Amino acid sequence: MRIVVDLNKCLGYAQCVPLAPDVLKLLGDEALAYDPNPDESQRQRVLRAAAACPVQAIIVETYTPAEGDPM
């Protein structure tokens, strides 16, 4: 699955981090780093983390192009 975090919006509340620690982590006190292409097994965790974000900065792919087809 693909995600992107709008780091302009992200204010480092870190509500997401404990919900999907393999995908989202803090560098220092408030800089968020994330894996933009987490394993499918992380989906439920990522969706929960995205829902928990107070500023809704985590964008999860809502449309998946077919295999081998970037359309």
Partner 1 sequence: MSAASLVAELVAAFRAEGRIVIVGASLAGLRAAEALRERGFRGKLTVIGDEPHEPYDRPPLSKQVLEGWVHPDHTRLPRRRAVNADWRLGVAATGLDRVNRQVLLANGDKVDYDRLLIATGVRARPWINPREAALEGVFTVRTCDDATRLQAALHAGPRRVLIIGSGFIGSEMASVCCKLGLPVTVTERADGPLVGALGGVIGDIAARMQRDAGVDLRTGVAVEALEADDGGHVRQARLSDGATLDVDVVVASLGSIRNVEWLEGAGLASGFWGVGCDAGCRAFDINGVVTDNIFVAGDIARAPHVLYEYQFISMEHWDNAVSGAQVAANNMINLETERCPHLPLPMFWSAQFGVNIKGVGVCSFGDEIVFTQGSPCERRFAAAYGRQGRIVGAVTFDHGKWLDYYSALIERSAPFPPPPPGYDQPAGATPIPARFPDPRVPTEIPTVVLTGHDPTTRGAEFRRRS
Question: Is residue 67 near partner 1 by the rule CB under 8 A?
Answer: no
Question: Is residue 51 near partner 1 by the rule CB under 8 A?
Answer: no
With CB under 8 A as the contact rule, the residue among 40, 41, 67, 71 that binds partner 1 is 71
For residue 47, with 0-12 CB atoms within 10 Å meaning exposed, 13-18 middle and 19 or more buried, which class applies? middle
Q: How far apart are the first and last CA of the chain?
A: 17
Question: Is residue 60 near partner 1 by the rule CB under 8 A?
Answer: yes
Of 19 and 23, nearer to partner 1 (C-beta) is 23
With beta carbons less than 8 A apart as the criterion, state whether 58 and 3 touch: yes
Question: Is residue 41 near partner 1 by the rule CB under 8 A?
Answer: no
- Judged by CB under 8 A, the number of residues near partner 1 is 29
Residue 2, phi then psi, degrees to nearest 5: -110, 140
